[in-house]
Amino acid sequence: MSRPTIGDVAAAAGVTKATVSHAYSGKRPISAATKERVFAAAEQLQWVPSSSARALATARAHAIGIVLARDPAILASDTFFPAFIAGVESVLARHEVALVMQVVTNRTAEERAYRAMAHGRADGVIVLDLHREDWRISFLQEMGIPTVLLGAYDGETTFSRVRTDDAGPVHELIAHLRTSGHERIAHVAGPLGYVHSFVRARAYLDETGTPELLREGDFTARSGRDLTAELLSLPDRPTAITYANDTMAIAGYSYARAHGLTVPDDLAIAGFDDDHLAGHLSPALTSVSTDPQRRGEVAAERLLADVAGETHREVTIDCTRLLLRESTAAPAPTTVRPLLTKELP
Amino acid sequence: MSRPTIGDVAAAAGVTKATVSHAYSGKRPISAATKERVFAAAEQLQWVPSSSARALATARAHAIGIVLARDPAILASDTFFPAFIAGVESVLARHEVALVMQVVTNRTAEERAYRAMAHGRADGVIVLDLHREDWRISFLQEMGIPTVLLGAYDGETTFSRVRTDDAGPVHELIAHLRTSGHERIAHVAGPLGYVHSFVRARAYLDETGTPELLREGDFTARSGRDLTAELLSLPDRPTAITYANDTMAIAGYSYARAHGLTVPDDLAIAGFDDDHLAGHLSPALTSVSTDPQRRGEVAAERLLADVAGETHREVTIDCTRLLLRESTAAPAPTTVRPLLTKELP
DNA sequence: ATGAAAGCGCTAACAC
DNA sequence: GTGTTAGCGCTTTCAT
């Protein structure tokens, strides 16, 4: 009743284990006839090679890893993550490579997890949520495991990098707000230790030059609300607030409305990430789409190439786009209400 | 430069491999002194046991698997998934068990994936998106791998099941709509082959008795929109539409508004899943919260117990709750607008 | 309390 | 074109 092994298949086909192995790998010529017999035997026994045995023998896990150092509760409301994973998987699926995930909550566990990845669990890793000073980079380098860094990391490294232009849309957005007459534009950033938060905040500062209107949040709705409250209570309050993600933007938006402000007339609001419902809020939320799925695909492809021995490279993908919607519309014109029509197509 | 093995540690500590192994597993008494030496040596060499070697020797992968048969594009906008994974991971992390995921797009690949899981990749699997007639159940049973089924599967099985009450909130919702004066209440279901879609549709039918107002969608925004259009073009159109998820509800909601209907006055709308932005739409969307994170935790705990040899069990968690919001408010009363107050706390 | 040695199921030289 | 034989790095009898 125990699972069939390569030996069983070999016996059933009247050959040796090596032949079975090679019939599948193609690493040496096998006559069509025996190949036939081998496949038939395997099919009949429903044999599937043991991944651990194969991994041990080849020193290849046929899996790649992602270690997430996040509070599960935060992961739960993250809009980036599932789309990114979907992108990664769509590539891995084609190569019969699995994805091993591990969520950790402290540094010790994180090191252990990466070590485990490097020691047989995975052939390579994708590193997310880069910090400006990120210990993982030298750590992984020392460990010698193929790695792809996702984000605008500028430190020294020989790892492959997949970057996107997060600053461009921010510049564009601020310029747009200025044109619409806004003079006091605030920004609620994500944790500034993160490269992606930092890049967005940096772009904001470069464009506005108003550090006094910058606040550091943590991507949660709560921080979005609290920092919005703080900004709105300033003597000379901002007329527009940009946020580093949609969740904080929506929380700020709700807070403002609950306190009698109209969006966008009294306060313009913009998010980042283009959550799938952002366009359905009313007024619809201006945001920046970031195509996480595509980033997942590119990162996975890059990593598989690195694992296969290609030389590391830096890839920049053009996938961020400012989506101007009602929440940052110019104040003046009144909203157009569609007619009540009973004629539905 | 190659990674240290248990042999290196043993040599460094002046003992044999067996001793190192037992020092960690505790499966036989080791003197405090040698234990000390072993740990020191391991620490110094930064040794981490090879998971593939261990897996091969113990026939335990120290990982559990999830195979998703979904189009990556659909996964990308799924609100259930990240929270569920977060819940699963929060449990696995405590047990140093990894999660292996595989997304497949056809039956053959799906079988292969499950076989690979059963043949060394994973010690157990969690099965999602159950169908009313689900081939995977007998398949996995034959394969003999510990399995936890998530959902209200009623067929025969000896596997553990984790269920929730999805029907209750639907009954409650319909009753509420009736009380509010609605007589023609429609339902846009998910694919009826899925147990969870079916349960919701069944509850709808039991409560309303109007199969002519039931439509089968596929959980995407597009189908939500198209089926809403269809329902609204009926000679005697519904005054309320309930949807099997929030994405379809929002799409329907947008469609209705774009065609001049006011929500909830002209059309009441309710979703399911309580997407994290649902409460922030305006009007806020009535929905049913399902606590996917908790379901993930319970499923993972159950699976680890099964893997450890406990007898299979059925667990029912009470985690669905109807959240009545503005989109199903009784038509009559006018919306209360908060005063414009410049006093912000 | 510790050593020695035999596998786990596969791959990869090395033979012929 | 195919068989033989060592390992891969660990766990686990069986000895002592």
Q: In what order do the strands lie in the sheet with A214-216?
A: A214-216, A185-189, A240-243, A268-270
B344 pLDDT higher than 80? no
DSSP A113-176: HHHHIIIII-SEEEE-S-BSS-HHHHHHHHHT--EEEES---S--SSEEEEE--HHHHHHHHHH
**B315 SS3 class:** strand
Local confidence band at A337 (pLDDT 50, 70, 90 cut-offs):
very low
Class of domain B167-289+324-328: alpha beta
- pTM here is 0.86
B1 pLDDT higher than 70? no
B227 to chain A, minimum CA–CA distance in Å?
12
| Neighboring chain A residues of B339 at a CB cutoff of 8 Å | 260
Indicate if B167-289+324-328 has the same CATH topology as B6-58.
Answer: no
CA distance to A88, A269, B110, B318, per residue, from A97 (Å): 10, 42, 13, 37
B222 pLDDT higher than 80? yes
- The CATH code of domain A63-164+292-318 reads 3.40.50.2300
Q: In what order do the strands lie in the sheet with A63-68?
A: A314-317, A160-164, A147-150, A124-127, A63-68, A98-103, B98-103, B63-68, B124-127, B147-150, B160-164, B314-317
Q: Which residue is associated with the tokens 């499966």?
A: B27
Residue whose Cα is closest to the C1' of D8: A57
B218 to chain A, minimum CA–CA distance in Å?
17
Q: Which residue is associated with the tokens 């997060």?
A: A166
Round the CA-based radius of gyration of chain B to a whole number and report it. Answer: 26
**Across all strands, nucleotide nearest B8 (CA–C1'):** D9
Tell which residue, B28, B34, B30, B29, has the closest CA to residue B15: B34
| Residue A121: both structure tokens together | 């669990």
Nucleotides of C under 7 A from a protein CB: 1-13
Tell which residue, B273, B249, B272, B269, has the closest CA to residue B261: B269
Tens-digit pLDDT profile for residues B7-65: 999 999 999 999 999 999 888 888 888 899 999 999 999 888 998 999 999 889 999 99
Query: From CA B174, how far away is CA B7, in angstroms rounded?
Result: 67
Q: Report yes or no: A155 and A185 within 8 Å, Cβ to Cβ.
A: no
Close Cβ partners of A206 (under 8 Å, ≥ 6 residues apart): A171
> Given B72, B109, B232, which is nearest A90 (Cβ)?
B72
Q: Where are the domains of chain A?
A: 6-58, 63-164+292-318, 167-289+324-328
With 0-12 / 13-18 / 19 or more C-beta atoms within 10 angstroms meaning exposed / middle / buried, residue A145 is buried
Q: Tell me, in Å, how far CA of B15 is from C1' of C3?
A: 8
Q: Report yes or no: A182 and A242 within 8 Å, Cβ to Cβ.
A: no
Q: Report yes or no: A240 and A182 within 8 Å, Cβ to Cβ.
A: yes
pLDDT at A206: 97
**Across all strands, nucleotide nearest A33 (CA–C1'):** D1
Beta bridge pairs of residue B316: B163
Average of per-residue pLDDT values in chain B = 89
Tens-digit pLDDT profile for residues A16-73: 998 999 998 888 888 888 889 999 999 998 888 988 999 999 888 999 999 998 877 6
Superfamily of domain B6-58: lambda repressor-like DNA-binding domains (1.10.260.40)
Query: From CA A261, how far away is CA A215, in angstroms rounded?
Result: 20
Tens-digit pLDDT profile for residues B321-331: 999 999 998 75
| Residue A166: both structure tokens together | 């997060």
